[in-house]
Amino acid sequence: MTDEIRLTGLTIRGHHGVFDFEKRDGQDFVVDVVLRGDLSRPAATDDLADTTDYGALADDLAAIVAGKPYDLIEALAGALADRCLAACAEVEVTVRKPQAPIAHAFTDVAVTVRRTRAPTQWRAVIALGANLGDALATLQDAAHALDLHPRIDVVVGSSVYVTVPVGGIDQPDFHNAAVIVDTTLPPHQLLAVCQGIEVGAGRTRDVRWGPRTLDLDLVHLCAAAGAVHDQDAAPPAAEVRLADPVLTLPHPRAGERAFVLAPWADLQPDALVDTPRGRERLTTALAHADDADGVQRAGALVWTAEQTGRSMQPAGAGRADLAEHGDPAPAAGGDRG
């Protein structure tokens, strides 16, 4: 899904053209722009800071049209597109020149350019949990489903742990694991993919902290992918922090839950996590977790590069369809505690 912001009919006097009189006398140029990207965050927060200020964008585009003269409207359109890409992932710019010096009757002359910004690379930690059915197979299938997505690569997976449930509800023990993924999906789209995989596994959201066929928690996200083992502690500037009705990052309770910390520490033992005591290494936070005694390594790996497990896709779904089965329920990267 791609959302759009449209600004049409922006009319500005400019001095563009190959003829001297065009640069001297000027004429009106009409600009239409379509900005494409993910608008789920501003839709949830209702905050101008989370979207494009199209008033400010119009001012910037007008300054470009009224500024440096170009011979070709193709060049002008390219300059306008470059400015728009600072605010979106994909842009379409049309420049119209209704007063072009053409010696015949005509309605309009226009050039349209389309540009795409190189996608941002994200590195995410996703915690997996299940305690119904064949939980181990479910976790392995879920990791495989993530890796099937065309914009997600599973980098490494943890051992699987058997953990005692938290929350006081009588239910079977959980199987928990973690994977690190590289993705070009922005945070809310990645969350939607995770929720789609949960739905494909038969997940329902009936009882908080209750049993479930599959739980995928988006625990931690960095704005740039780095080596897993030699750059465990991400620079603070790279760590993504979100707090909106849809998603909270980092996961607000990850630093207190051994069933999250133990698998994650398999992959990044020196990574830092927020805890009630402040920022701590994962291994330190794990030692302080109230549920640490209820966590036992099961031995199996949740994912390997050679994995060929069963796909969690709904019947008839393709690879890209995984992103279309989102769950509208708000999430703090997930909801098991």
Single out the residue of 259, 271, 262 nearest to residue 229, CA to CA: 271
For residue 168, name the pLDDT band (cuts at 50, 70, 90).
low
Residue 98 in this model has a pLDDT that exceeds 50: yes
Chain CA centroid to CA 302, Å? 23
For residue 47, name the pLDDT band (cuts at 50, 70, 90).
confident
- Angle among Cα 181, 187, 188 to the nearest 5 degrees reads 130
Domains 3-116 and 122-324 share a fold: no
User: Which CATH number is 122-324 given?
Assistant: 3.30.70.560
Amino acid code (one letter) for 268? Q
Residue 90 CA to residue 95 CA, distance in Å, equals: 17
Reported as a single tens digit per residue, the pLDDT across 238-267 is 788 888 778 888 888 898 888 999 999 999
Active site residues: 97
What pLDDT, on a 0 to 100 scale, did the predictor assign at position 208? 60
317-336 in b/e form (b: 16+ CB < 10 A) is: eeeeebbebbbeeebbbbbb
Ranges of each domain in the chain: 3-116, 122-324
pTM for this entry: 0.64
Task: Copy the structure tokens of residue 29.
Answer: 């140029």
User: How would DSSP label each residue in 200-257?
Assistant: HTT----STT---S-EEEEEEEESS---TTTS-S--GGGB--EESSS-EES-TTGGG-
Asked if 286 contacts 292 with a C-beta cutoff of 8 angstroms, the reply is yes
What pLDDT, on a 0 to 100 scale, did the predictor assign at position 84? 92
Output helix, strand, coil percentages for the chain, rounded to the nearest 5. Answer: 30, 30, 40
Q: What is the mean pLDDT of the chain?
A: 83
Q: Summarize the confidence of residues 164-193 as an average pLDDT.
A: 86
What pLDDT, on a 0 to 100 scale, did the predictor assign at position 299? 78
For residue 326, name the pLDDT band (cuts at 50, 70, 90).
very low
Backbone angles phi, psi at 243, to 5 degrees: -155, 90
CA torsion sign, 41 to 43 to 47 to 49? positive
Residue 164 CA to residue 295 CA, distance in Å, equals: 7
Task: Copy the structure tokens of residue 144.
Answer: 């495989």
For residue 224, name the pLDDT band (cuts at 50, 70, 90).
low
Single out the residue of 165, 175, 166, 11 nearest to residue 94, CA to CA: 11
For residue 294, name the pLDDT band (cuts at 50, 70, 90).
confident
Reported as a single tens digit per residue, the pLDDT across 108-148 is 999 999 998 877 789 999 999 998 889 999 999 999 999 99
Asked if 250 contacts 243 with a C-beta cutoff of 8 angstroms, the reply is no
- Of 1.20.1250.20, 1.20.120.10, 3.30.230.10, 3.30.1130.10, the CATH number of 3-116 is 3.30.1130.10
Task: Copy the structure tokens of residue 152.
Answer: 């997600």
